[in-house]
Chains A and B, each alone.
Chain A
Amino acid sequence: MDARALTKRFGDILANDRVDLVINKGEIHALLGENGAGKSTLVKMFYGSLEPDGGEILWQGNRVKIDNPATARELGIGMVFQHFSLFEALTVVENIALALPNPGRMADLAKRIEAVSKDYGLPLTPTDVVADLPVGIRQRIEIVRCLLQEPRLIIMDEPTSVLTPQEADRLFLTLQRLAKEGCAVLYISHRLEEVKRICHHATILRHGQVVRECDPTKETPASLASMMVGADVAAVSASEKKANLGGVRLGLKNLSAPAATPFATALNKISLDLRAGEVVAIAGVAGNGQGELFDAISGERPVRSFMIEIDGTACGTKSITWRRRQNAAFVPEERLGHGAVPGMLLSQNVVLTRHATSDGLSWGGLVSLPKAVSIQERIKRDFDVRMSHDNPEARSLSGGNLQKFVVGRELDRKPGLLVVDQPTWGVDAGAAALIRQALIDLARSGSAVLAISQDLDEIFEIADRIAVISRGYLSEAEPAEKMTRERVGLLMAGGAETQGDVA
């Protein structure tokens, strides 16, 4: 594939500005860039979901016009999305049949699925219902669905964000095999380690333009990151000053809770002592109980009183407001709709989590909006939240900027205990470094920080101790320097469960 001077404009914003990109047969080509650099826009043009405003696409030497995804598939371009498009109530084979132009008989298709998936090291059972399958397997379905159409180019958007290291290794083998067979892969990822490991070539986008092309195997993750951001990314300095441990701020004692819905995870006898001055990170693959654990600690979902202690006081049944008054602060994973109300101004979103604490935002039932506005301005300044005009609605902020805002809103309180779920999810490298440094600094100033994350790089960067959550069980928190990626991977894949049972 050869794209020349592709341009796409949304209103006044040039999302892609004369982008040139050549992908060769048998090549794994990385597409790198910060959030909003224009990666998604570019691949959507390749896949026919967006039409370019200028430039041309050459496919195997011929000029083509890709009007819609069906045309793309006919040409032999397949795509695996970051967010899956599967019907949960249907089986694997039914889901795949829906995407194929002429699926033929179900039984034959099921045999083909079994053969192809096994052949590529991604075994699937065609009769399984999707709802019962973990995320890693769901992704396999998407990949196998692509493979069945014998693509010449596969586009993958952050495929490893939902996988354990072991599952990711398996995916890499598949990708390498595909490349050997002559298929081209366009690989989008924020994880620079993997890019360096498996990609042959990298194109880096910034503000919609190609800024560099390079051979990632000859670069370091740090040099790749600085190319993306356009400046040196401040390395997060964690271990220079060792933590001065204080008393236990947050104690989880045999925390158990049944699953609230059939798709939720039950929590099983989770125990953890979080001390003042340290950052403890909880690793794990998405959907293993992180959300449930967060809700229990924050108080959105009450549990038995003795199960949670804040500064020594049992409070499993106490409200989130009570816990905030104990100087605890919480940042949930979902920023829009949970951490912030989309249609409300940022200042009103300050009131959302701080109306009951000692900020003077609420007095005798009346809300002081001017005070909220000035707090909002302070957060904006301290955490470099960029916005188009003063105090906009939360929904108008980009994901990364809103994340800086919701994290900043809590850090601004200087909480004694901070629990944060996915602190830098979907945030670009520059902002991520800022947030991570702020978490470490908070801990060093004597607070306790619990970070739940699915990003291992992040965890090793910030954590003093690491625990792993798997199917609602938590492994014992161990000092970060004794942990290795392999060990974390094994615990993610179920090791935490057996350990949790023993403990």
Chain B
Amino acid sequence: MRIELVKRKEQSKAMALLSPVIAIALTALSAAIIFSLTGHNPALGLYKFFIEPLTQQWSLEATIDKATPLILIACGLAICYLSNNWNIGAEGQFIIGALFGSFLPILFPDFENGATLPLMLVSGALGGALWALIPALLKTRFNTNEILTSLMLVYVASLLLDYLVRGPWRDPGGFNFPESRMFSDAATLPEVFGGALSLATPITLVIAIVLAVLLAKTLKGFEIRVMGQSPRAGSFAGFSAKGLTLFSFALAGALAGLAGTMEVSGALNQLLPTISPGYGFTAIIVAFLGRLNPLGIIVAGFVLALSYIGGEAVQTALGVSNKIASVIQGLLLFFVLACDTLILYRVRVISRRAPGGEASHV
């Protein structure tokens, strides 16, 4: 018996929708195997991880809170990946965005008025964009590999944050804890829906929908998809590869930076040495699970946020290490990428040694 992949003539529309579902099913299956190997009841583990967080209001809200930055970052990353720019450094852009967004409430705590919050958000987006433009410029100017440079800048960013909260930006009245001062009310993102969610969630949804329209209906969206699929055809169409690299990095950085600012302003209310549980990296999985489509990303962001909450849930309920969340996230990315093969290939099982496949020439 032999299994063959047969190339389809065109992409399968059914598989494009089905492949993330298959990937999630395979991830759940693998998670069940891991639970039983470590001596836990797999059914209970899966229930605690994937289902229980959805049954209570507080955990549902916590899931949405976690999904919000993931969705916002992943939307920007999707633009990068669609245009063949491999930005792996959203975590760093998130942090630098948070720093840029925080300098106003930390260094000028008395500047309190209606402009405070908008200025913070704009400056956060700007900071993320500037940080993302570093690997973009290195790529367009010196042809460096953006995967490496963007990733390495993550560590620069997180050490910079660490230095600031332990040094110059430490709260003068904070008993030497490595924290910044608390933000004033004017610098805090208001809550909506009766205090259940921060304003970050509706902002994120609006941005996702705008980007979905941009991709589907505009010439810029067309340019992004053409460049990603065949750069040569893109330059024949009159699009600039360099321009698009700068654009997509700047956009992704701006959205990550905005997410960072909204996280410190809405959820944490101050800067801490660690402000992200790896949102920038998890968003990569979100982007692919959502098929690089902003609307798909909204759903995918929710699924991945669940893995954070579920990880904590199995830790308290079963005593499994909460590293299980990272393992499951990794498995998910693996299966998502593997299942994408099915969109352009058909699996054929051949029972006997049979004619069919074409052997290589030489």
| Chain A interfacial positions (CB closer than 8 Å to B) | 44, 47-53, 68-69, 79, 81, 85, 99, 298, 300, 319-321, 324, 330, 332, 334, 337-344, 348, 351-353, 355-356, 362, 365-367, 388, 392-393, 395-396
Contacts and interface: CB of A to CB of B under 8 A. Distances in A.
Contacts, number: 91
B358 A44 contact: yes
B359 A69 contact: yes
10 contacts: A50-B355, A300-B236, A320-B238, A330-B236, A337-B230, A341-B233, A352-B233, A352-B236, A365-B218, A367-B217
A132 B65 CA distance: 61
Interface of B: 9-11, 217-222, 225-226, 229-230, 232-233, 235-238, 355-356, 358-362
A103 to B, nearest CB: 14
Contact of A365 (B10, B220, B356, B358): B220
A20 to B, nearest CB: 20
A85 B358 CA distance: 17
The residue in A51, A300, A362, A393 that gathers the most chain B C-beta atoms within 10 A of its C-beta is A51
Nearest to A298: B236
B225 A344 contact: yes
A348 B361 contact: no
Nearest to A349: B233
A318 to B, nearest CB: 11
A52 B361 CA distance: 16
Given A68-B359, A298-B236, A393-B11, A367 B230 contact: no
A366 B225 CA distance: 15
Contacts of B9: 388, 392-393, 395-396
Nearest to A354: B237
Most buried by A among B219, B221, B225, B233: B233
A125 to B, nearest CB: 23
Contacts of B238: 319-321, 324, 356
Most chain B CB within a 10 A radius of its CB, from A50, A81, A343, A388: A343
Nearest to A348: B222
B219 A362 contact: yes
The 10 closest A-B CB pairs, nearest first, are: A321-B238, A396-B9, A51-B355, A393-B10, A337-B230, A320-B238, A338-B232, A352-B237, A341-B233, A362-B219
B347 to A, nearest CB: 15
A300 B235 contact: yes
Given A352-B226, A366-B217, A339 B361 contact: no
Contacts of A320: 235-238
A344 B229 contact: yes
Contacts of A340: 233
B217 A353 contact: no
B358 A49 contact: yes
Contacts of B359: 48-50, 68-69
Contacts of A341: 226, 229-230, 233
Contacts of A355: 219, 222, 237
B212 to A, nearest CB: 14
Contacts of A85: 361-362
B355 A337 contact: no
B237 A353 contact: yes
Nearest to A8: B355
Contacts of A47: 361
Contacts of A49: 358-361
Contacts of A344: 225-226, 229
A160 to B, nearest CB: 20
B219 A365 contact: yes
A351 B230 CA distance: 15
Given A49-B358, A81-B361, A356-B238, A338 B233 contact: yes
Contacts of B233: 337-341, 352
Chain A CB count within 10 A is highest, among B226, B230, B235, B355, for B230
Contacts of A366: 217-219
A53 B357 CA distance: 12
Contact of A69 (B10, B355, B361): B361
Select the residue from A81, A324, A337 with max chain B CB neighbours within 10 A: A337
A53 B225 contact: no
A158 to B, nearest CB: 15
B232 A367 contact: no
Contacts of A393: 9-11
A334 B231 CA distance: 13
A305 to B, nearest CB: 18
Nearest to B223: A355
Nearest to A51: B355
A81 B361 CA distance: 9
B355 A53 contact: yes
A158 B359 CA distance: 21
B292 to A, nearest CB: 13
Contacts of B229: 341-344
A367 B219 contact: yes
B222 A351 contact: yes
A337 B358 CA distance: 24
B152 to A, nearest CB: 29
Contacts of B237: 320, 352-353, 355
Nearest to A10: B356
Given A337-B233, A351-B222, A355-B222, A396 B10 contact: yes
A169 B89 CA distance: 59
Contacts of B236: 298, 300, 320, 330, 332, 338-339, 352-353
Contacts of B218: 365-367
Given A48-B359, A365-B219, A367-B218, 4 more contacts: A49-B361, A330-B236, A355-B237, A356-B238
A352 to B, nearest CB: 5
A247 B10 CA distance: 46
A194 B34 CA distance: 68
A338 B236 CA distance: 7
A392 B9 CA distance: 10
A378 to B, nearest CB: 20
B109 to A, nearest CB: 42
Nearest to A325: B238
A99 B232 CA distance: 34
B362 A99 contact: yes
B178 to A, nearest CB: 47
Nearest to A323: B238
A324 B225 CA distance: 21
A51 B354 CA distance: 9
A220 B302 CA distance: 71
A367 B11 contact: no
A13 to B, nearest CB: 11
B100 to A, nearest CB: 29
A96 B229 CA distance: 36
Contacts of A339: 233, 236
A178 to B, nearest CB: 22
Contacts of B356: 51
A348 B233 CA distance: 12
